């Protein structure tokens, strides 16, 4: 469903990604795991078209998106949950949810979103600026579900969330997977990652250095926690 080949990118003179290649098959949930600054967020931003790549190709379901602007990638079915959440502060919760176009029949209706995340229904008339950090994170995830994205790109979706909300996000990802969604997840919480993912790509200094099955990831958890500095 999503294939990245030979991706390289820079920030000024500093090279952030070096010949990065990986794939996410239809219906899979894959994680990118690495230290802060390893290139995880840059990879997501290149895939969405928000950061310029210097080389490589990015394909969605066989279609080369490399030269597409971000809005065309979104209409094709890429949904992005950035680490800064991207909530429109002056719009209400419901207006934030209704803003993106629905691109797929499996898009979640508002009723399902509110049933899954009651806090959003309680706050539906509140502006985004009045939400807590955790509530904004939930809203950002719910917004791409309502969009019906074919591929969800999630950057640290559980960061700063209370345990009860982390469990809700876990259930939401499981439901989206059942609906056929394909997901690429950047996540520092290894236990969460191994609870939801099929495979993992370990990235270091802008390169993919290992591909790990979920069972191997669990066995090497202590080693990987030390590697990540967590």
pLDDT tens digits for 187-220? 877 888 888 899 999 998 899 998 999 888 888 8
- Percent of the chain clearing pLDDT 70 (strictly above): 98
pLDDT tens digits for 57-84? 999 999 999 989 999 998 888 989 988 8
Which residue would you say has higher pLDDT here, 4 or 35? 4
Residue identified by tokens 């895939």 is 47
The pLDDT of residue 158: 84
Confidence of residue 229 (pLDDT cuts 50, 70, 90): low
The pLDDT of residue 65: 93
- Mean pLDDT for the chain overall: 88
Residue identified by tokens 């949904």 is 79
The pLDDT of residue 28: 93
Q: What is the CATH number of domain 2-228?
A: 3.40.50.300
As a whole number of angstroms, the distance between CA 145 and CA 139 comes to 10
Residue 208 has φ and ψ, to the nearest 5°, of -80, 120
Which residue would you say has higher pLDDT here, 229 or 36? 36
| pLDDT of residue 31 exceeding 90 | yes
Average pLDDT over residues 147-173: 86
pLDDT tens digits for 123-135? 999 998 888 888 8
Instruction: Pull the structure tokens for residue 96.
Output: 């934030």
Average pLDDT over residues 22-33: 93
As a whole number of angstroms, the distance between CA 77 and CA 195 comes to 25
| Segments making up each domain of the chain, as ranges | 2-228
| pLDDT of residue 114 exceeding 80 | yes
Which residue would you say has higher pLDDT here, 103 or 43? 43
As a whole number of angstroms, the distance between CA 76 and CA 74 comes to 5
The pLDDT of residue 179: 80
Average pLDDT over residues 214-228: 80
């Amino acid at each position: 469903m999503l294939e990245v080949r030979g991706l390289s990118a820079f920030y000024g003179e500093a090279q952030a990604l070096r010949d990065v290649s990986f794939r996410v098959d239809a219906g899979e949930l894959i994680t990118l795991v690495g230290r802060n600054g390893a290139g995880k967020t840059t990879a997501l931003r290149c895939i969405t078209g928000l950061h310029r790549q210097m080389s490589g190709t990015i394909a969605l379901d066989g279609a080369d998106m490399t030269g597409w602007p971000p809005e065309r990638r979104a209409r094709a079915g890429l949904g992005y949950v950035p680490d800064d959440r991207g909530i429109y502060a002056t719009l209400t919760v419901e207006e934030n949810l209704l803003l993106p176009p629905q691109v797929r029949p499996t898009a979640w209706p508002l009723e399902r979103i509110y049933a899954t995340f009651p806090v959003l229904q309680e706050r539906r008339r509140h502006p985004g600026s009045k939400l807590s950090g955790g509530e904004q994170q939930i809203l950002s995830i719910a917004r791409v579900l309502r969009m019906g994205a074919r591929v969800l790109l999630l950057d640290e979706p559980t960061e700063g969330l209370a345990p009860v909300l982390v469990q809700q996000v876990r259930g939401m990802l499981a439901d989206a997977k059942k609906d056929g969604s394909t997901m690429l997840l950047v996540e520092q919480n290894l236990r969460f990652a191994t609870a939801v993912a099929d495979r993992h790509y370990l990235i270091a200094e802008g390169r993919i250095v290992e591909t790990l099955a979920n069972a191997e990831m669990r066995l090497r958890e202590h080693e990987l926690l030390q590697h990540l500095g967590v």
